[in-house]
Every structure is written in structure tokens, then in C-alpha cells.
Amino acid sequence: MIGYVTVGTNRFDEAAEFYDKLFASIGAGRAFDAETFIAWSTGPSAPAFSIAKPYDGAAATVGNGVMVAIAMDSLEKVDAFHAKAIELGGSDEGAPGNRSDNFYAAYFRDLDGNKLNAFCFVSG
């Protein structure tokens, strides 16, 4: 159902480098690349994550309560993705761990303060 999600950035070149490295760690690459918009995906029919300079020319701001969740297929991948985000300059918003009986997640903010998480469901 979801085609892509977009977060705004005030640091376009730095954000592009951050996400190039972060998404490369899970096998995703640039699916679309323009002067003010870049999208990453794992394939042409998979959902994409994108950054953009705001169309109206105003500063990008972080949406209160907005978060993008990236699905993983193992606890180890959640841990590694979170660690990579922190290594690249992101900030920790919740270390990897169980959030309920079958939901494992890690939370971080990117260079502009956008909140993301990596998660997986675990069978018990």
C-alpha cells in the first residue's frame, strides 16, 4: 500500500550521504535522484524512503509524532541498522530491545531530527 515516505531536510548533501551509507547497509540504493529529491529502495516494486528540500522553500521541520518505521527480518539486522545510524551521526531515541512480547525495535533520529525506527516481529 505505501509507495514511499518523504522527510524534509535542511542539510541535503549531508542527508544524502547519511542515507546512502545507512540504506546500503541493508542492500538498498538510490531509486530516484534529482536536485531536490532522492529516494532509496530495495527494488522497483518495493516501498521507498526519500528526502526532499521543502517545495515552498521554507525550512524543513520535524513533525511531532511522525516516525518512519523500517522493517527488518531479524533482531541482528535491527541492532546493526540502529548502530549504523548512530555511527553516521544520528542520535539514539531508544536502544534495540523488546517493546512487547513479539515486537523488537530500535529508535533513532537522523541529522535533521527526523525520527525513524528499525523493527521486526519475533516468534515466541
Mean pLDDT, residues 75-103 taken together: 97
Q: Which domain holds residue 104?
A: 4-54+67-121
Q: Say if residue 1's pLDDT is above 80.
A: no
Structural domain contains residue 16: yes
pLDDT of amino acid 123: 84
Among 123, 29, 108, 111, CA closest to 70:
108
Structural domain contains residue 108: yes
- Crossing angle of helices 12-24 and 75-87, in 10° steps, is 150
Query: pLDDT averaged over the chain?
Result: 96
Structural domain contains residue 60: no
Structural domain contains residue 62: no
Number of domains in the chain: 1
Q: pLDDT grade, residue 114 (50/70/90)?
A: very high
Structural domain contains residue 38: yes
Structural domain contains residue 97: yes
Question: Which residues contact residue 56 at a Cβ distance below 8 angstroms, ignoring those fewer than 6 apart?
Answer: none
Check if the beta carbon of residue 119 is closer than 8 Å to that of residue 105.
yes
Structural domain contains residue 49: yes
Which CATH number goes with the domain that contains 19?
A: 3.10.180.10
Q: Is 32 helix (H, G, I), strand (E, B) or coil?
A: strand
Structural domain contains residue 61: no
Q: Say if residue 124's pLDDT is above 70.
A: no
* pLDDT tens, position by position, 27-80: 999 999 999 999 999 999 999 999 999 999 999 999 888 999 999 999 999 999
Q: Say if residue 102's pLDDT is above 80.
A: yes
- Please list the alpha-helical segments (H only) found in the chain: 12-24, 75-87
Distance CA 117, CA 113 (A): 13
